[in-house]
Amino acid sequence: MANGLTAILFNEEGNYASELRAHLNAYGGIKIVAEIDEPALLTQTISQLKADVLVANLDPQPEANLALLGEITTTHPAVAVFAICSSTDGPLILKAMNLGLKRFVPKPIDQSFLDDALDQVAAQRSTSSDTGRLITVMGTAGGVGATFLATNLAVELAQLDKGNVAVVDLDYRFGQVATLLDVDCTFTIADLCASPEALEFQVIKQALVKHSSGVYVLARPSSFAQADNMTAANCVGVLSKLLEHYAFVVVDGPSRFDQAAKSVLDFTDLNLMLVQLLVPSVRNALRIVEGMRESGVSLEKNCLVCNRFGRDSAHLSLQDVESTLSMRTFASIPDDWATVSGSINLGEPLVEQSPKSKVRLAIQEIAERLHAPDSDSDEKDDRKKGLSLIGRIFANQGGE
């Protein structure tokens, strides 16, 4: 039933956020592009981000919030507006309908009622679902290899889809994506997040630097002060704009499981959860998975990748990790300090520095598996049917 819809959530009740997010994610294939908890930010966000549906919790101030939603149905008629409310007061429902809201969904939410309503929006929507794929690389402990993987994966994808891949550094303070590719960036993601007005792609393009491999790089902020001003909403706005123009956007991050991370994870197509065969890494991975579950973030997008595999790891096997996390391993990357440190220190991706190394071949294979579903016409049909990227990748590999 997934149809690649995009949604904005409006919710002022902090303790209802997880439940609301879980209901949306239960629909499958929906992307939450923003989660707003302040009425004052709603209009600006709707103008800035492309969304098919606005799902708004009217509580705790139904009358005031309904008036706000009424303004939105007038200014943004293409966005289907759903109101969620604990009150089933007849006049309130009537008012909602008169204001042009598409659905009034009483609490507790009946999932099949919500699914039917979303199906209708999917059938009638005007926005195109033919956007690129967002791939996040989430390290489960410091130094696990997230930057190295994100950077080299983007470069490998760019070999398969020239000019169609961007890599974004979400490690706002210490990100090294630009260093690993030895590019100088005049503008960064901070310059884009600083402008609250709707972002034009031309502006974003100016901040991107093209690496010789063909991958476009969006670097981390140059100063700590700029990093402090980054907001989750603006960051997702930038990613969303990039996806309108690139087939793949690979992100180094999110690195911590904070509010911004939840927004990015809600929005991603595939989250490569990078572990090493070390107890702290696996414990953190488990905490992240539990945090995602508690917050209503979809676990379906998670994919386990084991880095530095093949070292003599005492007392912990990949099977232990899989059973602890209840996840299948998507890929493993061999340990090769000499090759990897050489590539990092020279600022040359493996495809240039060590194209025949096992570690490069492992990342190239990941890129091929991620790229394959979109290059096959049957899979394109699956995509239209709404099968998730991860579902299609594992299906392509014969369910391995």
For binding to Mg ion (CB under 5 A), which residues are involved? 146-147
Residue type, 113: F
Shortest distance (Å) from residue 175 CB to Mg ion: 7
354 binds, among Mg ion, ligand ATP, none (CB under 5 to 8 A by kind): none
Q: What is the dihedral of CA 41, 42, 48, 54, to 10 degrees?
A: 150
Spatial neighbors of 175 by CB under 8 A, at least 6 apart, are: 147, 169, 219, 220, 252, 253
Spatial neighbors of 228 by CB under 8 A, at least 6 apart, are: none
Binding part of the chain for ligand ATP, among 144-152, 257-265, 323-331, 376-384 by CB under 6 A, reads 144-152
Lay out the site mask for ligand ATP across 236-275 (x = CB under 6 A, - = otherwise): ----------------------------------------
Shortest distance (Å) from residue 251 CB to ligand ATP: 12
List 169's β-bridge partners, or say none: 252
Residue of 353, 355, 304 lying closest to 333 (CA atoms): 304
Binding part of the chain for ligand ATP, among 109-117, 218-226, 318-326, 336-344 by CB under 6 A, reads 336-344
Shortest distance (Å) from residue 250 CB to ligand ATP: 13
Q: What would the two tokens of residue 226 be?
A: 């700029």
- Asked if 96 touches ligand ATP (CB under 6 A), the answer is no
Shortest distance (Å) from residue 272 CB to ligand ATP: 12
Residue of 247, 222, 251 lying closest to 236 (CA atoms): 251
28 binds, among Mg ion, ligand ATP, none (CB under 5 to 8 A by kind): none
344 binds, among ligand ATP, Mg ion, none (CB under 5 to 8 A by kind): ligand ATP
Cα distance between residue 238 and residue 168, in whole Å: 10
Cα distance between residue 366 and residue 149, in whole Å: 10
The residue (of 147 and 281) whose beta carbon lies closer to Mg ion is 147
Shortest distance (Å) from residue 178 CB to Mg ion: 12
Among 28, 139, 296, 386, binds ligand ATP (CB under 6 A): 139
Q: What would the two tokens of residue 370 be?
A: 């991620």
**Hey, is 52 helix, strand or coil?**
coil
Give the DSSP per-residue string, 253-320.
B--S-SHHHHHHHHH-SEEEEEE-SSHHHHHHHHHHHHHHHHHT--STTEEEEEEEETS--TT--HHH
Q: What φ, ψ does residue 128 adopt, rounded to 5°?
A: -85, 140
Cα distance between residue 264 and residue 4, in whole Å: 16
Among 95, 102, 308, 360, binds ligand ATP (CB under 6 A): 308
Shortest distance (Å) from residue 191 CB to Mg ion: 21
- Compute CA distances 73 → 53, 183, 312, whole Å: 11, 45, 60
Q: What is the footprint of ligand ATP within residues 165-194 (CB under 6 A)?
A: 171
The residue (of 29 and 145) whose beta carbon lies closer to ligand ATP is 145
- Asked if 153 touches ligand ATP (CB under 6 A), the answer is no
29 binds, among Mg ion, ligand ATP, none (CB under 5 to 8 A by kind): none
Shortest distance (Å) from residue 280 CB to ligand ATP: 12
Q: Using CB atoms within 10 Å of the CB of residue 345, give its burial: 0 to 12 exposed, 13 to 18 middle, 19+ buried.
A: exposed
The residue (of 30 and 366) whose beta carbon lies closer to Mg ion is 366
Tell me, rounded to whole angstroms, the distance of Cα 276 from its chain centroid. Answer: 22
Cα distance between residue 86 and residue 274, in whole Å: 41
- Asked if 310 touches ligand ATP (CB under 6 A), the answer is no
Among 344, 351, 367, 393, binds ligand ATP (CB under 6 A): 344
Residues near ligand ATP (CB under 6 A), total: 19
308 binds, among ligand ATP, Mg ion, none (CB under 5 to 8 A by kind): ligand ATP
Using the structure block, give the residue that is written with the tokens 């699956």.
382
Shortest distance (Å) from residue 381 CB to ligand ATP: 36
Shortest distance (Å) from residue 347 CB to ligand ATP: 13
Task: Enumerate binding residues for ligand ATP (CB under 6 A).
Answer: 139, 142-148, 171, 307-308, 333, 335-337, 340-341, 344, 359
